[in-house]
Copies of this chain bind each other. A is one copy, B any other.
């Protein structure tokens, strides 16, 4: 998918929302659990959440931890979830939230796994081991590495503000990754809880899409993020997971998710 195609979806839907599929069996409503195995219930929940929220979002982001802990059957649910989106909602951008990051030899296998075996459009990566860990993901036209720069969580500043060649580490990470990539194969994670940083980040990174976790459950504001971070192509994918998919624990969970999605990350550009 090109960034122009993503932008065209954003304009069509009036939304920059990415729905995070952090599906936890213990939080699935009883009406979905009844008569189903754990993995059947997770898949059915995902299908109904996807169908209900797709008119209000431009991307879905399964969080791999929530599938891997179910073992091999969990990976089957992951495959079927991606296939359900591809078959029924072809304009959606599908992100593997995986935070992988390993030496070149291993990174090539992760790229093969996430782009070929599982058919994701993009994957989140951790930059700690340097640019070599990202390059194998850049060789797939229309697919994206999404490198964590400044995360949304409480301990993000433990290390992300270290000084590298005179610059904050998150900036140094972004600049070094921009040297080896283009906005057509590279995006960055910048957390919504750092809303005050978006204007500054746009001075050295005007063009790349930013994936923005941290609205909703983590306390970030979509409005502030859009005010500081939007660019002429949209430029933002604003993620909400728990705030959308667990909007109701009752029989109305899918409608409630649709309503929550329709209120989040509205884009007027």
A contacts, CB < 8 Å to B: 22, 24, 63, 65-66, 68-76, 79, 97, 99-107, 109-110, 112-113, 116-118, 126-133, 148, 151-164, 169, 172-173, 176
Q: Are A148 and B129 in contact (CB under 8 A)?
A: yes
* Residue among B110, B132, B161, B162 making CB contact with A65, cutoff 8 Å: B110
Given contacts A129-B148, A152-B103, A162-B163, contact A75 B66 (CB under 8 A): no
Chain B residues, CB < 8 A from A128: 101, 126-128, 148, 151, 159-160
Residue of B nearest to A164 (CB): B162
Give this chain's copy count. 2
Give the complex CA separation of A118 and B158 in angstroms. Answer: 30
Chain B residues, CB < 8 A from A97: 102, 106
Residue of B nearest to A63 (CB): B106
* Residue among B63, B72, B100, B103 making CB contact with A73, cutoff 8 Å: B72
Chain B residues, CB < 8 A from A102: 63, 65, 97, 99
